Chain A
Amino acid sequence: MVVVSKNPVYSVLWLIFTFFCISGHYILLNAQFLFIVNIIVYAGAIMVLFLFVIMLMNLNKSSEPQKNRWLRMAGVLAAGCLLLVLVAALKNIDIKKQVAETNTGDIGLIQNLGKALFNEFVIPFEISSILFLSAMVGAVVVGKKE
Chain B
Amino acid sequence: MPINYYIFLSIALFVIGMAGVLTRRNAIIIFMCIELMLNAVNLLMVAFSKMHHLAKATTDATAGTDGQLFVFFIMVVAAAEVSVGLAIIVMMYRNIHSVDVNFLNRLKH
Contacts and interface: CB of A to CB of B under 8 A. Distances in A.
A54 B28 contact: yes
B3 A57 contact: no
Interface of A is mostly: helix
Interface string A103-143: 00101100011001100010010001001100110111011
A6 B98 CA distance: 16
B46 A31 contact: yes
Chain A, interface residues (CB within 8 Å), range: 35 or more
Interface residues of B, number: 73
Contact of B2 (A59, A96, A121): A96
Contact of A93 (B4, B46, B65): B4
Interface in B74-91: 75-84, 86-91
Contacts of A72: 23
A39 to B, nearest CB: 11
Contacts of B13: 18
Contacts of A59: 26, 28, 99
A37 B82 contact: no
Contacts of A107: 49-50, 53, 62-65, 68
B18 A79 contact: yes
Nearest to A65: B100
Contacts of B88: 142
Interface of B: 1-4, 6-9, 11-13, 15-16, 18-20, 22-26, 28-29, 31-33, 35-36, 39, 42-43, 46-51, 53-55, 57, 62-66, 68-69, 71-73, 75-84, 86-91, 93-94, 98-100, 102
Given A11-B29, A12-B32, A101-B54, 6 more contacts: A31-B49, A99-B2, A101-B50, A112-B65, A116-B65, A139-B84
